[in-house]
Amino acid sequence: MTSYLNKRCNLWHMQKENLKYVSSGKAKDIYENSNDTLIFEFTDRVTAFDGKKKSEYNEKGEITCKIAEYWFKILEKNGIPTHYIECPTPTSMLVKRLDIVPVEVIWRNYMAGSLLRRYLAGDITLPQGVGTEEGSLIPGGMIEFTTKFEAVDRPVATDEIISNGWLSEEEIEYIRDLTKRINDIISQELTSSGIILADFKVEYGRTPDGEIILADEVGTPDGCRFWKKDEFEKGFIASLDKDVFRKNIGDLTVAYRELFNKLQKNNI
Ligand code: 5GP
């Protein structure tokens, strides 16, 4: 098994030299594998605050790749259409090539992050019944959209998404339903790991047939807020996600590995 994997890894590293480089995101490098598939290489890079804070952490690429693979497989099993094909090496993922929808989708179960910041700045009013402290439950959850291909991600209203021709009203409804289902599946899976899914970001893309499916990565500590349930019940927020880096409250690899180990107990 190990030698088979090593062979595949060596093959990938030899192939990588010959693959066409497409682009780099904040944490991933993208290569063209064929006309209709791409390879994502998960790196050890981490950035926050629109790229203003940057660093690298050993093993981060491998841990996030494995966690994304874990969730893609679970979501597929539960009927969520995704771009995931397979992971040829511990840090790379083969995916279907898509036409990426130019909005990012955020699902929130608890008050945190930019929602809290925008509320405290007086920029938004909160939906009825939502508390105003970090960690307040958002009854029923809420969805938000932000721009994807602008210099800085900004919240965008559904009217603007429709008038820009980014998504139709029906497609927004479809994405709302799919994102809620993703939230419910991941939250349900996490109950036995003692972790709360506070919020997350996902992206979607269109296949050549026009079907909208889940793209990018999902369920990783780069794109979700995960809180330890036992601490939360005592009134504290203990993060196992990128907030550790954003807030300078610990070693990112240690936090990501702790999350990974808790998921592994859940048969990663
Ligand atoms: P917030 O809007 O509160 O900063 O983020 C909400 C959720 O979306 C958090 O789980 C956060 O990690 C995720 N998120 C927001 N923007 C990005 C982004 O540009 N990349 C990734 N990977 N996740 C993001």
My answer on whether 147 and 85 are in the same domain is no
Average pLDDT over residues 76-90: 97
My answer on whether 161 and 72 are in the same domain is no
My answer on whether 10 and 128 are in the same domain is no
- Answer whether 90 contacts ligand 1 (Cβ < 6 A): no
Which pLDDT tens digit goes with each residue over 206-225? 999 999 999 999 999 999 99
Q: What is the pLDDT of residue 196?
A: 98
Q: What is the pLDDT of residue 139?
A: 95
- Answer whether 200 contacts ligand 1 (Cβ < 6 A): yes
Under DSSP, is residue 249 helix (H, G, I), strand (E, B) or coil?
coil
- Domain range for 239 is 99-252
Q: What is the pLDDT of residue 127?
A: 85
Residue pair 186/259 in contact (Cβ under 8 Å)? The answer is no
Which pLDDT tens digit goes with each residue over 144-183? 999 998 988 999 999 999 999 999 999 999 999 999 999 9
Nearest CA to ligand 1 atom 7: 200
My answer on whether 166 and 84 are in the same domain is no
Q: What is the CATH number of the domain that holds 246?
A: 3.30.470.20
My answer on whether 139 and 221 are in the same domain is yes
261 occurs within a structural domain: no
Residue pair 92/40 in contact (Cβ under 8 Å)? The answer is yes
If you write DSSP's letter for every residue of 131-169 in order, what string do you get? -SSTT-EEEEEEEEEEESSSSS--B--HHHHHHTTSS-H
My answer on whether 237 and 204 are in the same domain is yes
Counting the structural domains of the chain, the total is 2
Give the global pTM.
Answer: 0.93
Taking the CB of residue 193, how many other CB atoms lie within 10 A of it?
A: 18
209 occurs within a structural domain: yes
Burial of 221 (0-12, 13-18, 19+ CB in 10 A): buried
Which pLDDT tens digit goes with each residue over 7-32? 555 556 656 778 899 999 999 999 99
CA dist 108 and 133 (Å) reads 14
- Answer whether 106 contacts ligand 1 (Cβ < 6 A): yes
- Answer whether 223 contacts ligand 1 (Cβ < 6 A): yes
Is pLDDT of 135 > 60? yes
Nearest CA to ligand 1 atom 2: 114
Lowest mean pLDDT among 34-38, 67-71, 150-154: 150-154
